[in-house]
Chain A
Amino acid sequence: MAKLFAVTIIVIAIASAIPIIMHTWSAPEDISIHGPIIDDQMSETMAEAGIAFLAAQFVLAIFIWMFAKPNPGGKIKKFPGGATGLVIGAFLIVGIEVLALGVFGAKVWADVYLSPPGANAMPVQVQAGQFAFYFRYPGPDGKFAAIHPNLIDESTENFFGIDTTNDPDAKDDIVTAEFAIPVNKEIHLLMHSKDLGHSFYVRELRVHQDFVPGLDVSLHFTATKIGKYEIVCTQLCGLGHYNMKAYLEVMSQDDFDKWLKQQAAAQ
């Protein structure tokens, strides 16, 4: 039975690794400027974790195969080097591995999250609420009108609580349910929630950020490929959570300008 168990462990380990090695299931193609460094970090971690996984399972299986004895006899033996060798090995190999992952991973994180948006980044505001995203463009004046929570009224489609009567900045604000952006243009996304915790996840864009009620959170990114991509909520927000999504449309600059004009006319 021990030998069968050892073989089972090895078969399971190899079978588990094959879909990873063959890329049977993989992340969708990246469409952002910052994405490749995240993907590289993922690949490096996969290689290191994969080797550790296979090595540990194989050694476990081999020792079970070798040392399970129905009728044991003779003296027990110690693994050469004993615990000291293993502890030193763990500190050196795993220590160097995690240090490398930590340092390079920190650099990747810093590139994405700790660098400010460029001066020419296009601001877009996104508001999350049960169970929809709404996006706001500041219009020609470049200013977002102030938000008044007491004015939020879905029945009149005043999703952001804008004072359209008295606030001059509100006159040209454009509110949409779709997130359209020009390709190769840096976007500065200003995020807030009107009710509960939500999240903004676009796999292809390698962007994932929670909305925190009571806090304004911002992101910046540049999409590099024209197309339509799903934006999904990943923070459990109630019964319609599974259905809270919107679409990101990455367009050419010309198409985006036309789209924005159409949206402005429809306000």
Chain B
Amino acid sequence: MHDMSAPAVHHHAPPTSFIRKHVFSLDHKVIGKQYYDMALVAAIIGMILSWIMRIHLAWTNAAIPGLQLLSKTGAPGGVLTPEYYLQLMTMHGTIMVFFVLTTAPFAAFGNFFLPIQVGAEDMPFPHFNMMSFWVTFTGFIVLLASFFVSDGPTLGGWTQYAPLNAVGAIAGPGQGMGVILWMASIALFCVGQLLGSLNFIPTTLDLRTKGMSLMRLPLTTWAWFITSCMGLTAFAVLMPACILAILDHVAGTSFFVPSNLVISDQLQQHSGGSTLLWQHLFWFFGHPEVYIAIIPGIGIVSHILITNMRRPLLSHRVIIYSMGALAVLSYMVYGHHMFVSGMNPYSALAFSFPTLIITIPATIIVLIQIFSLYGSKLRINSASLFALGFISMFVSGGVSGFFLAQPSIDIMLHATYFVVGHFHMVMAVAAMFGIFAGTYFWAPKMFGRMMNETLGKIHFWLSFVGAYCIFMPFHYLGIVGNVRRYSVFVDDYLQPLLPVHKFITVAALLTGAAQAIFLYNLIHTRFWGKPASDNPWEGTSLEWSTTTPPPFDNWGGKLPVVYHDPYQYGVESSVGDYVMQASPEQVKTENDEQ
């Protein structure tokens, strides 16, 4: 612990009751752990759903024991029907994108560490913060509830295209109450994330402790700050879109349904709506969402690599500016999801160029991360392995973006497994690796105990090789023209691709099973793990200056004062090759950019 001379008055007292301590807590650290645990449960459900889907795709008539308990009509005898396949697929995508990839790297780690990294006692609006989690959690429960309504969850995919999302049960199983619950769930999720963003932004701007200038903020804090700015605009568009879709169901409006539709030989009463309006609203949220999922990962991975390379990145500022550029450009590229949607073909050209240009800041980030390894003293541990794995996955998924950014090539690849491979690698697996890296790195501070390194490394090797075995072949399938969202490959041309699907399914089952190692390690650590010291990784940022685990007000009564840039490694100080941000010790360094 270092000199803490700034005065502090905590604006709410420590709770005493179990409910206020562990359930309806105002403490950002507890809320962060609540988000983490919810994301963990969501990830397990989402992964089991993916297993079921993969088994069905490879062995269509295989009975999955116990599946009939989830739905007698959707899986009679444990064999999936085509419609239930689509319903489970929709739930997989929705749970993973919203309740795992957005909540874990942003809301979970961000809640726990952002106030600590800026040197604050808490968020400025703790009640909003508590509401943020519980509203999000309610959204999760509402989504899961759709499993148990009469015709099950919606089958419309995580993108919920109109007018399938707005015409009701006549369009198919799950398109009535299932859609309404989906829309309500996501609208609640949006409210939760808006409340979260409203806390993250003023925490970063207004609650920084003495000496913590903006450029002294760690890259994680910058990533969460940029992500919360994106969240404000992106979720604010999706939420009303969901409400409008609900109104199309229950209030007789026609926001997303045009005139003269004939479904099941019945002329629909809707008139005057626009199906493309939904796509514009959804993707105006949807593409920034990709960056909402991945920018926290970029920050986390940079933070972890720096600590383990024992040096700062080649440029702190350039990474910040590049993350900002990704955020701004992400709003200008969304139309690349709609090249063949029927929108004006000139629009495709307008959306193509920003999509290609966004590769420049992404490339700069990757190059700086990779070339910062040069001349470093890289420590290999579970956290750094997952961080390096993130870079490898981000590159692999990123280069396939070159293809999908071009409307002419999109003619061949749109809605194929190439797209599935692309977004799973660049957004899902990369973001998951960021979550794993963050967990191994921050578990000591979050739970007060060290994760088992041997198990962590085994988990990494199986996940890294497994993820490539699953998702790289998706690209090959897409090149051949294998269409996504098919529950059965009955088409003649898809039959020769079945062996590839079987290979992917086996890889998915094994890689998924390997996650049990992580789960065991995490649970064991939280209850019985080796107690952690305050700064086990010899880190410099403020989370390592406080005790493990941090006290209720983070600082034991006095806020820290910041004297240095966030990543002062490769120096000679009294404690080793680093000097902590909160240490007044003056050291000579060549790394200080500012």
Contacts and interface: CB of A to CB of B under 8 A. Distances in A.
Given A25-B476, A236-B156, A241-B485, A64 B373 contact: yes
A27 B318 contact: no
Interface in B356-405: 356-357, 359-360, 363-364, 366-368, 370-380, 385, 388, 391-392, 395-396, 399-400, 402-403, 405
A76 B491 contact: no
Q: Which of B163, B311, B402, B486 has the most CB atoms of chain A within a 10 A radius of its CB?
A: B402
A76 B377 contact: yes
A37 to B, nearest CB: 8
A53 B360 CA distance: 15
Interface string A16-37: 1001100011111000000001
A64 B373 CA distance: 7
A60 B411 contact: no
B172 A238 contact: yes
B359 to A, nearest CB: 6
B376 A203 contact: no
A49 B403 contact: yes
Given A105-B409, A214-B275, A154 B265 contact: yes
A71 to B, nearest CB: 9
B388 A238 contact: no
A232 interface: yes
Given A49-B399, A60-B388, A213-B258, A89 B367 contact: yes
Interface in B427-478: 457, 464-465, 468, 472, 476-477
B171 A238 contact: yes
Interface stretch (B343-351, B514-522, B547-555): B343-351
A60 B465 contact: no
Interface residues of B, number: 112
A209 B311 contact: no
B575 interface: no
B378 A69 contact: yes
B367 A8 contact: no
Contact of B411 (A48, A112, A195): A112
A138 interface: no
A197 B275 CA distance: 8
A217 B476 CA distance: 30
Interface stretch (A91-99, A169-177, A259-267): A91-99
B360 A234 contact: no
Contacts of A102: 352-353, 356, 405-406
Q: Which of B310, B345, B374, B414 has the most CB atoms of chain A within a 10 A radius of its CB?
A: B374
A201 B257 CA distance: 24
Contacts of B367: 86, 89-90
A103 B570 CA distance: 45
B476 A56 contact: no
B395 A60 contact: yes
Given A25-B480, A105-B406, A242-B490, A12 B465 contact: yes
Interface string B278-322: 000000000000000000000000000000011101110010000
B411 A83 contact: no
B248 to A, nearest CB: 13
B563 interface: no
A122 interface: no
A108 B373 CA distance: 40
A258 B276 CA distance: 40
A72 B585 CA distance: 23
B566 interface: no
Given A76-B376, A196-B167, A241-B486, A57 B406 contact: no
A68 interface: yes
Contact of B164 (A68, A197, A215): A197
A84 B267 CA distance: 63
Nearest to A242: B486
Given A86-B371, A155-B265, A16 B171 contact: no
Interface of B: 81-83, 86, 155-157, 161-164, 167, 171-173, 175, 257-265, 267, 273-276, 309-311, 313-315, 318, 340-342, 345-346, 348-349, 352-353, 356-357, 359-360, 363-364, 366-368, 370-380, 385, 388, 391-392, 395-396, 399-400, 402-403, 405-412, 414-416, 457, 464-465, 468, 472, 476-477, 479-481, 483-493, 497, 500, 569-570
Interface of A: 1-2, 5, 8-9, 12, 16, 19-20, 24-28, 37-38, 41-42, 45-46, 48-50, 52-53, 56-57, 59-60, 63-64, 66-70, 72-73, 75-79, 82-83, 86-87, 89-91, 94-95, 98-99, 101-102, 105-106, 108-110, 112-114, 129-130, 149-150, 152-155, 161, 194-197, 199, 201, 203, 206-215, 217, 230, 232, 234-243, 245
8 contacts: A16-B472, A42-B409, A77-B374, A197-B275, A212-B342, A239-B155, A241-B86, A243-B490
4 closest cross-chain pairs (CB), A and B: A214-B258, A77-B375, A72-B377, A83-B315
